[in-house]
Chain A
Amino acid sequence: MTPPAPAAAPTPRREFAAGLAAVSPLLLGAVPFGLIYGALAVQAGIPPLLAVAISSIVFAGSAQFMITKLVAAATPGLLIVLSVFIINLRHALYSAALADKLAHLPARWKILLAYLLTDEAYAAAIRRMESGKDATQVHWFLCGTGFGLWLVWQLSCIAGVLLGARIPAAWSLDFAGTLTFIAIVVPLLKDRASTGAMLVAGMVAVAAFALPHKLFIIVAALAGMAAGVLIDQLVERRQARA
């Protein structure tokens, strides 16, 4: 009789493969979003080579989408940089949420994982991070989610640049990005605090939408987080009294 195989020890290869598997459903939303970015970038008058390079240089779907609109409207460069900075400020929150788990890594790993840190890669990694499983190789998991998304994003954007105007606007392919985010958020609404945080963030986003440079995103995120903490505290206090 052979001894039972040890329960899948977390090797770099296994973690990387698990990361790829975790991000794969999210790629379905990334492909149409990348296609429409590429098409819009060309229509905005961005040279094809630069349009493709932006996907590696900036590597952020919502920000790239906004860039095409700003370039089409001949916005000055510094304002574009400022708008990208503000729309991507939410990534500082992802960075904060992951920082402890990556603190022991050498700088080259931190730089790589920070570069690959996107909404989708982070969302795909949440469950793994919170599973309480052996986290010694979890950076390989993040590398898997980040690299999987990166590769598919580059290919989709290139395809979008090549197809250009042949992708009709009536297909509304940009909606796939929003649907991906809905698919991520809904399963996370597990208690009152989460639901309250979502409602407050949503209402503040709509109310503050007119703020310049897409400031509404970070304002709504902060308001939602504060609401979540408040609701948690109220629930705790009520339970303590009961």
Chain B
Amino acid sequence: MNLWLTMLLAGLATFLIRYSFIGTAGRLSAPAWFRHMLRFVPIVALTALIWPDLLMPAGELQLSLRNPRLLAGLIAALVAWRSQNIFLTIGAGMLALWGLQWAM
């Protein structure tokens, strides 16, 4: 398939996903347990992206102190917890990764 057409279809699919519930709001009403589940949406969706990047940077589990992404991610999480500051978290995480990559 032509690359432009592929991307147009990928974009349409993405838009339809984002429009799904917003577009049908008012016509469909969600049950209470579903609303309750939605409380956890940002946490679980982003965690599903974070953990594999920290724990399996090369595609397989690397639960070791030789894994700079894991250590830098843990340092960033600690900074996020103590400071609740996005700038500091990203800055500390990048510096930690560069330092660890340089040291290893």
Choose from A53, A84, A193, A205 the contact partner of B40 (Cβ within 8 Å). Answer: A193
- For the complex, give the distance between the alpha carbons of A19 and B52 in Å: 30
Residues on A with C-beta less than 8 A from B23 are 107, 110-111, 114
Interface string of A199-221 (1 = CB under 8 A from B): 00111111001000000111011
Q: For B39, give the chain A residue with the smallest CB separation.
A: A228
Residues on A with C-beta less than 8 A from B98 are 171-172
Residues on A with C-beta less than 8 A from B61 are 206
Choose from B1, B45, B72, B101 the contact partner of A221 (Cβ within 8 Å). Answer: B45
Decide if A135 is an interface residue (CB 8 Å cutoff): no
Name the interface size band of chain A. 35 or more
Choose from A107, A170, A185 the contact partner of B101 (Cβ within 8 Å). Answer: A170
- For the complex, give the distance between the alpha carbons of A50 and B10 in Å: 13
Known: A77-B3, A180-B86, A182-B73. A221 touches B51 (CB 8 A): no
Residues of B within 8 A of A (CB): 1-11, 13-15, 17-26, 30, 33-34, 36-56, 59, 61, 69, 72-73, 76-77, 80-81, 84-87, 89-91, 93-94, 97-98, 101
Q: For B81, give the chain A residue with the smallest CB separation.
A: A186
- For the complex, give the distance between the alpha carbons of A189 and B76 in Å: 15
Can you report 20 A-B residue pairs in the complex whose CB atoms are below 8 A from each other? A54-B11, A58-B14, A71-B3, A81-B9, A85-B10, A114-B18, A117-B22, A175-B94, A179-B93, A183-B76, A188-B43, A198-B44, A204-B48, A205-B48, A205-B51, A218-B48, A220-B47, A221-B44, A224-B47, A228-B40
- For the complex, give the distance between the alpha carbons of A47 and B2 in Å: 12
- For the complex, give the distance between the alpha carbons of A119 and B1 in Å: 29
Decide if A21 is an interface residue (CB 8 Å cutoff): no
Residues on B with C-beta less than 8 A from A182 are 50, 73, 76-77, 80, 89, 93
Residues on A with C-beta less than 8 A from B87 are 25, 28
Q: For A76, give the chain B residue with the smallest CB separation.
A: B1
Is B18 touching A91 in the complex (CB atoms < 8 A)?
yes
Is B43 touching A180 in the complex (CB atoms < 8 A)?
no
Residues on A with C-beta less than 8 A from B59 are 209
Residues on A with C-beta less than 8 A from B41 are 90, 93-94, 96-97, 221, 225
Residues on B with C-beta less than 8 A from A185 are 42-43, 46-47, 50, 80
Decide if A147 is an interface residue (CB 8 Å cutoff): no
Residues on B with C-beta less than 8 A from A88 are 13-14, 17-18
Is A184 touching B3 in the complex (CB atoms < 8 A)?
no
In angstroms, how far is the closest chain B Cβ from the Cβ of A84? Answer: 4
- For the complex, give the distance between the alpha carbons of A54 and B4 in Å: 9
- For the complex, give the distance between the alpha carbons of A202 and B40 in Å: 13
Is B10 touching A93 in the complex (CB atoms < 8 A)?
no
Is A77 touching B6 in the complex (CB atoms < 8 A)?
yes
Is B43 touching A119 in the complex (CB atoms < 8 A)?
no
Known: A78-B1, A182-B77. A103 touches B26 (CB 8 A): yes
Decide if A136 is an interface residue (CB 8 Å cutoff): no
In angstroms, how far is the closest chain B Cβ from the Cβ of A44? Answer: 10
Decide if A155 is an interface residue (CB 8 Å cutoff): no
Known A29-B86, A175-B72, A182-B77; 7 more pairs at CB < 8 Å:
A59-B11, A95-B17, A171-B98, A179-B73, A181-B47, A185-B42, A186-B81
